[in-house]
């Protein structure tokens, strides 16, 4: 899959590929899926490549939305793309284009790799990179509050986040009655602390939370076999423009 990305802006990383791998077993054919913060479009496109979906993507950065639209065309993937701020956009507005209206009332699944760098991390001087990385640009509480209004009953929110924030994440999800039902932690090496959590949360679920085996990214200086398999399956080709 060809992915055009900005030469000087934010580019996708392995987190998105891990999230795609984690999410796919939970997606169902022809379900309505929303991706929040689509960027260049890689997450939604990989999912739609592997399974027929009713895909909607929202991205607030006009330059990234333009790249996303180009990537959709190049890879011949159908999706409704919205260039707007997720927290401000009214998905339930009756004046929306009728082509979108039936898909955009509520969604079976919402996907996101949201910005999660905390305030203590040194910020990039590039405003576009900063916007895509730092949690203050899309606070998790506000994100879940809006997600809650857009999920169908028993709908699912599948996302990744900084593993160190897991207590706050789970507390927020429980507050909005979208409890986590499956998580997997990602570790750079077996002796290192987790850096990423992959999470599947389900609206109004009463299920206990399954904790999957850890995903280790490296063995020595090499990628682990599982990570190599994930990269091979994604099969992305990045083009800077």
Residue 241: pLDDT band (50, 70, 90) is: confident
Average pLDDT along the chain? 90
Nearest to 128 by CA among 68, 63, 57: 63
> Please, are residues 102 and 74 in contact by the beta-carbon 8 Å criterion?
no
Residue 229: pLDDT band (50, 70, 90) is: very high
Between these two residues, 144 and 98, which has the higher pLDDT value? Answer: 144
CA distance linking residue 39 with residue 94, whole number of Å = 26
Please name the residue that has the structure tokens 């949360």: 201
**With pLDDT > 90 as the criterion, what percentage of the chain qualifies?**
80
Report the pLDDT value the prediction gives residue 8, as an integer from 0 to 100: 80
Report the pLDDT value the prediction gives residue 218, as an integer from 0 to 100: 97
Report the pLDDT value the prediction gives residue 99, as an integer from 0 to 100: 47
Tokens of 111: 């996907």
> For domain 2-92+104-116+130-236, which CATH number applies: 1.20.1300.10, 3.30.70.260, 2.60.120.10, 3.40.50.150?
3.40.50.150
Residue 5: pLDDT band (50, 70, 90) is: very high
Query: pLDDT digits over 47-68, tens only?
Result: 999 999 999 999 999 999 999 9
**With pLDDT > 70 as the criterion, what percentage of the chain qualifies?**
86
Report the pLDDT value the prediction gives residue 10, as an integer from 0 to 100: 77
pLDDT(97) > 80: no
CA distance linking residue 19 with residue 33, whole number of Å = 15
Average pLDDT (113-131) is 61
Report the pLDDT value the prediction gives residue 96, as an integer from 0 to 100: 54
Between these two residues, 115 and 187, which has the higher pLDDT value? Answer: 187
Single pTM value for the model: 0.90
Tell me the domain boundaries of the chain.
2-92+104-116+130-236
Partners of residue 156 on adjacent β-strands: 109, 202
66-99 exposure pattern, b = at least 16 Cβ within 10 A, e = fewer: bbbbebbeebebebbbbbeebeebebeeeebeee
């Amino acid at each position: 899959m060809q992915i055009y990305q900005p030469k000087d802006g934010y580019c996708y990383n392995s987190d998105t590929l891990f999230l795609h791998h984690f999410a796919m077993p939970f997606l169902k054919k022809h379900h309505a899926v929303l991706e929040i913060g689509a960027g260049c479009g890689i997450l939604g496109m990989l999912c739609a490549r592997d399974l027929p979906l009713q895909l909607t993507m929202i991205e607030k950065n006009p330059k990234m939305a333009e790249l996303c639209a180009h990537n959709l065309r190049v890879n011949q993937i159908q999706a409704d793309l919205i260039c707007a701020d997720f927290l401000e956009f009214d998905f339930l507005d009756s004046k929306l284009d009728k082509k979108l209206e039936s898909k955009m009332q509520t969604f079976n699944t919402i996907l996101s790799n949201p910005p999660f760098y905390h305030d203590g991390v040194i910020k990039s001087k590039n405003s576009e990179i900063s916007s895509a990385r730092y949690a203050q640009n899309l606070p998790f509480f506000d994100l879940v509050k809006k997600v809650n209004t857009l999920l169908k009953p028993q709908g699912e929110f599948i996302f990744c986040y900084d593993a160190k924030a897991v207590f706050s994440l789970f507390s927020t999800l429980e507050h909005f009655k979208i409890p986590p039902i499956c998580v997997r932690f990602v570790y750079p090496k077996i002796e290192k602390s987790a850096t990423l959590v992959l999470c599947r949360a389900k609206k109004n679920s009463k299920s206990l939370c399954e904790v999957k085996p850890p995903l280790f990214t490296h063995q020595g200086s090499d990628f682990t076999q599982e990570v190599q398999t994930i990269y091979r399956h994604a099969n992305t080709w990045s083009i800077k423009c």
